[in-house]
């Protein structure tokens, strides 16, 4: 297979893999009520079908990225996607809620193996200066999957039952595994700098697992509840132990070359803050549209549709803007659009019109598309040699923790009567304003490839830790 064909195949694998995970996450929300009734599950048990997956995937994304850097991303993707499909089929056959929860955790583990590889494959297939278009297409694919998931889930549940929602993953997983086998990516050498320290990996997984579990519990316990406070103290303590451990070991779980990269760390922070603002706003706006404006779920979905549409249509535009104007201006513009959209939503009253809500959600979609394309392109393009997997894992961790944080903020500030919607959106807008700082730290020039960087940058990136 020719090199251009291999690049196209890598892009296809990356898009299908990202769509599989995005589709699974949104389609499940529609199936949960039917699943609860059929299996006689409690509300807490149903919540664990989401929380268990989220904790597992967030805890292991960076570790999975390091494993891919050491053993090959195609191998990790192949194992991850087969496991993901097998776990989905197992859930479809589950007789009660216990196996469903266990297999959802297994899905999270396999999803963690899969996600960093989909980004790393693009970095291996394309030079940094040509990553804009592939990443824009991948972002559009994610938006399409996330937008169609609830609709597809509704059709499947209505006509075939909730089990069909999980059966649909199996053929997609098999197709993706077959495509992965056709990829010919070089297997990385077992360099000393790629050694994986088990103690550091365990500490990082523990920090992320406790953090996500704590944030996921905020809607139930509040920010001042004992479980939340205990969880945050535990996160702080584990983080201190992790930092001390990473400083004294020769081969940290997050390599020094990655930690020292300002574009990479700034992009992670940018993604974390903007995704928190966006998903927190979606959470709050959904309740506002239904509980205050009295709209049903279908009409609410139509009101939010401009967000998905502008993410799909705006991603290619953002890719062109990134090439023409550079990461800094593209990210600043995208973040500003998110802020304006959030402020606009905060001004909606009981008589909020289709035009007003549609325009605000369109601004959010266009802005987040610009941020996502820019930050992802920067993260993947600036990944130090040999660390595409761990950088991809960090990026995916940011976009997994960000929404959980945003929903926690929205739910925590909404433990008052519904009129607090406006103030909640302004708090989320303030979080988005904070994202302007990391956006300003990105490069002001167009993306460049490794061959265009100075010899000092190459030496720093290649120096063993």
Among 9-23, 192-206, 275-289, 440-454, where is mean pLDDT lowest?
A: 440-454
pLDDT band (50, 70, 90) for residue 414? low
Number of domains in the chain: 3
pLDDT for res 195: 64
Among 295-299, 352-356, 386-390, where is mean pLDDT lowest?
A: 295-299
Average pLDDT over residues 438-450: 73
Among residues 183, 205, 225, the one where a domain terminates is: 183
Question: Do residues 338 and 420 both lie within one domain?
Answer: yes
Is 258 or 82 the better-scoring residue by pLDDT?
82
* DSSP three-state, residue 127: coil
Who contacts 243 (Cβ-Cβ below 8 Å, separation ≥6)?
none
377 domain-assigned: yes
Question: Do residues 16 and 5 both lie within one domain?
Answer: yes
pLDDT cut 90: percent of the chain above it: 28
Question: Do residues 319 and 395 both lie within one domain?
Answer: yes
pLDDT band (50, 70, 90) for residue 461? very low
Say if residue 231's pLDDT is above 90. Answer: yes
221 domain-assigned: yes
Question: Do residues 239 and 265 both lie within one domain?
Answer: no
pLDDT per position as a tens digit, 109-129: 999 999 888 888 888 888 877
Question: Do residues 243 and 259 both lie within one domain?
Answer: no
Rounded Cα distance between 412 and 279, Å, is 14
Question: Do residues 148 and 179 both lie within one domain?
Answer: yes
Domain harbouring 35, CATH code: 1.20.1250.20
Average pLDDT over residues 283-298: 75
Q: How many other CB atoms are there within 10 angstroms of residue 15's CB atom?
A: 21
pLDDT for res 465: 35
Say if residue 421's pLDDT is above 90. Answer: no
pLDDT per position as a tens digit, 25-40: 777 777 877 888 888 8
461 domain-assigned: no
Chain-wide mean pLDDT for the chain? 83
192 domain-assigned: no
Question: Do residues 59 and 169 both lie within one domain?
Answer: yes
Length of the chain: 465
Question: Do residues 141 and 278 both lie within one domain?
Answer: no
Who contacts 445 (Cβ-Cβ below 8 Å, separation ≥6)?
326
Among 77-86, 326-335, 394-403, 456-465, where is mean pLDDT lowest?
A: 456-465
Average pLDDT over residues 400-406: 88
408 domain-assigned: yes
Question: Do residues 20 and 118 both lie within one domain?
Answer: yes
Question: Do residues 128 and 212 both lie within one domain?
Answer: no
64 domain-assigned: yes
Rounded Cα distance between 343 and 345, Å, is 5
Question: Do residues 309 and 362 both lie within one domain?
Answer: yes
Question: Do residues 122 and 212 both lie within one domain?
Answer: no
Helix, strand, coil shares, percent, the chain, to 5: 85, 0, 15
Q: Which domain holds residue 139?
A: 1-183
Say if residue 84's pLDDT is above 80. Answer: yes
């Amino acid at each position: 297979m020719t090199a251009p064909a291999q690049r196209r195949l890598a892009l296809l694998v990356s898009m299908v893999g990202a769509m599989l995970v995005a589709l699974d996450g949104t389609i499940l929300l529609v199936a949960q009520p039917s699943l609860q009734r059929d299996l006689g599950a409690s509300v807490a048990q149903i919540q664990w079908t989401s929380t268990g997956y989220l904790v597992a995937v967030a805890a292991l994304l960076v570790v999975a990225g390091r494993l891919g850097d050491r053993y090959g991303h195609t191998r990790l993707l192949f194992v991850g996607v087969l496991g993901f499909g097998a776990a989905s089929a197992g859930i479809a056959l589950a007789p009660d809620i216990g196996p469903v929860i266990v297999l959802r955790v297994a899905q999270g583990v396999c999803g963690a193996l899969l996600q960093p590889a989909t980004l790393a494959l693009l970095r291996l297939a394309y030079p940094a200066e040509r990553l804009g278009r592939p990443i824009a297409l991948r972002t559009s694919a994610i938006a399409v999957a996330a937008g169609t998931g609830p609709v597809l889930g509704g059709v499947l549940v209505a006509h075939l039952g909730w089990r069909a929602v999980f059966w649909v993953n199996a053929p997609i997983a098999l197709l993706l595994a077959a495509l992965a086998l056709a990829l010919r990516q070089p297997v990385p050498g077992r360099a000393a700098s790629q050694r994986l320290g088990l103690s550091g990996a365990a500490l990082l997984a523990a920090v992320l697992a406790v953090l996500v579990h704590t944030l996921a519990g905020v809607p139930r316990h509040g920010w001042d509840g004992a479980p939340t406070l205990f969880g945050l103290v535990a996160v702080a303590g584990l983080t201190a132990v992790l930092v001390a451990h990473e400083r004294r070991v020769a081969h940290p779980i997050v390599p020094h070359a990655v930690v020292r990269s300002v574009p990479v760390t700034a992009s992670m922070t940018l993604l974390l803050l903007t995704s928190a603002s966006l998903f927190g706003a979606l959470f709050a706006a959904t309740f506002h549209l239904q509980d205050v404006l009295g709209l049903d779920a279908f009409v609410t979905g139509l009101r939010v549709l401009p967000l998905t549409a502008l993410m799909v249509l705006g991603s290619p535009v953002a890719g062109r803007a990134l090439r023409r104007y550079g990461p800094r201006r593209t990210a600043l513009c995208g973040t500003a659009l998110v802020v304006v959209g959030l402020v606009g939503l905060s001004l909606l009253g009981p008589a909020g019109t289709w035009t007003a809500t549609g325009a605000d959600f369109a601004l959010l979609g266009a802005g987040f598309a610009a941020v996502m394309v820019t930050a992802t392109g920067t993260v993947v393009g600036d990944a130090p040699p040999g660390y595409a997997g761990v950088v991809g894992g960090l990026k995916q961790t940011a976009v997994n923790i960000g929404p959980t944080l945003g929903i926690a903020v929205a739910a925590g500030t909404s433990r008052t009567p519904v009129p607090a919607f406006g103030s909640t959106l302004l708090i989320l807008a303030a979080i988005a304003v904070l994202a302007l700082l990391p956006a300003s730290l990105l490069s002001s020039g167009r993306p460049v490839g490794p061959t265009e960087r100075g010899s000092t940058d190459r030496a720093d990136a290649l120096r063993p830790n």
